[in-house]
A and B are shown apart, each in its own frame.
Chain A
Amino acid sequence: MMTRSDLTTRVIEGLLWLVAAWCALFGLLWVLGSHGLQWLDAGDIPNWLAPILVNGPQGDRTGIPQIGAALNPAESLQVGALFSHLFPIPGEHSPLGTPNNWGEVAPGGAVVNLWGPTGFQHHVYMAVHVLAYALVAVIAVVLARMVADSRRGSPFVRRNVMRLFWIGWLVIIGTPVISWANWACLRWIFNSSTASGHVARTVGYSWESLPWWSMLIGAVVLILATVWRSGVQMADDVAGLV
Chain B
Amino acid sequence: MSPPAEIDDGHRIGCSLDALLAAQGMTLTELSERVGVSIVNLSILKNGRAKAVRFSTLTAICEALNCDVGDVLFLASP
Contacts and interface: CB of A to CB of B under 8 A. Distances in A.
Question: Does B associate with A?
Answer: yes
B65 interface: no
Q: How large is the interface on A (under 10, 10 to 19, 20 to 34, 35 or more residues)?
A: under 10
Contacts of A242: 37, 41-42, 44-45, 50, 52-54, 57
A241 B49 contact: no
Interface residues of B, number: 12
Nearest to B57: A242
A237 interface: yes
Interface string B38-76: 000110110001111110010000000000000000000
A239 B54 CA distance: 13
Contacts of B52: 237, 240-242
A241 B54 CA distance: 7
Interface string A225-242: 000000000001101111
Interface in A69-123: none
Contact of A240 (B37, B50, B57): B50
A239 B42 CA distance: 13
Nearest to B45: A242
A237 B51 CA distance: 7
Contacts of B51: 236-237, 239-241
A236 B51 CA distance: 9
Nearest to B38: A242
Interface in A196-242: 236-237, 239-242
Nearest to A240: B51
Contacts of A240: 44, 49-52
A226 B39 CA distance: 34
Nearest to A237: B51
Contacts of B37: 242
A236 B50 CA distance: 11
A217 to B, nearest CB: 36
B18 to A, nearest CB: 15
A241 B41 CA distance: 8
A216 to B, nearest CB: 38
Contacts of B54: 241-242
A81 B45 CA distance: 87
A76 B42 CA distance: 85
A173 to B, nearest CB: 36
Give the interface centre of A236, A237, A241 by most chain B CB atoms within 10 Å.
Answer: A241
In the complex, the 5 A-B pairs of residues with the closest C-beta atoms, listed nearest first: A240-B51, A242-B50, A242-B41, A242-B45, A241-B52
18 contacts: A236-B51, A237-B51, A237-B52, A239-B51, A240-B44, A240-B49, A240-B50, A240-B51, A240-B52, A241-B50, A241-B54, A242-B37, A242-B41, A242-B42, A242-B44, A242-B45, A242-B52, A242-B54
